[in-house]
Amino acid sequence: MKRKKRKPAAPPLSRLDRCVYYALTALTIAATFGLIAAQIGLTNYIGYRDPEVIAYDHHRSLLWYLPFLLFVMVSALVYIEACRTERKPLFGDKRIRYGSAPWDASVYPLFSKNKPRCYEQPSKKKLRSFGRRLWLGAALTLLCLVPFSLFGRDCLTQDYRVQDYNAVNRLSAEYEAGEISRIRLGVIRRTFRRYSSDYSLELCLIMEDGSEYSFRTGSFRDGARETLRVMQELKDGLPPEKVTLFGKEMLWRLADGLHLDSEEITLLYRLFEAELP
């Protein structure tokens, strides 16, 4: 019985090549977070582009963007890790004679001037070409979803109109201030870890047809003082029985988390009809 011929091993990576692979991995991850930040910045620009808008809330728009972003990031990381694991040299090591025994004769540094032109079997070439076209087709398909991540939003204007824009930036609904039938105003707690929580102020406007539109502290264009003023005016415009307040027990945590000054704390407790501590 003939023993199967083992393929010669690839030469070890140089220190420079290993550092480059690790740097490419770090840059891919950093670029991913950078693209997320760019998307958030672009949605903020679109949301506040109209000077009449004082607050906006997006329609979970990041969900349209994540498939493309994750597909590109995972593809890049898998490719980089595969090249590193298979020990594909980039710049090479001057002490290693590439293409000579005992190393694999087909392995040469990517940027080598002496790299010979290797013969590739037609079947492998066709398979490689098909894989590239398949990846490109999937990337372009997911890329078509990215524009939908930018435009879907709810806007609150200076005269307290509510505008609802769909994913293609079309105004799908608009309500006047007089169509607000009820208001829910309270403190929302979000827990990220066991001992880490985030507190925000939420304003929920309930329209006559039952539609609800929520705006939180981070939704408003201006600072905390202007936000509290807007919420107070909306609250004062309705009878007390149509205003629901909740989360009073967390007001001091909210004030601490938002770093409110003494005047802003006074406005906050007045908004919730609570006594100052």
Instruction: For residue range 139-192, list pLDDT tens digits in order.
Output: 999 998 888 888 889 999 999 999 999 888 889 899 998 899 999 998 888 776
Give the pairing of strands 180-193 and 243-246: parallel
Contact predicate 186/222, CB 8 Å: no
What pLDDT is recorded for position 14?
Answer: 84
Residue 28: closest CA among 86, 92, 81: 81
Question: Which amino acid would we find at residue 276?
Answer: L
Q: pLDDT-derived band of residue 5, with 50, 70 and 90 as boundaries? A: low
Interval 267-275 mean pLDDT: 87
269 touches 187 (CB < 8 A): no
> d(Cα 159, Cα 156) in Å, to the nearest integer?
8
pLDDT at 119: 63
Distance, first Cα to last Cα, the chain:
89
The pLDDT score that the predictor gives to residue 1 is 46
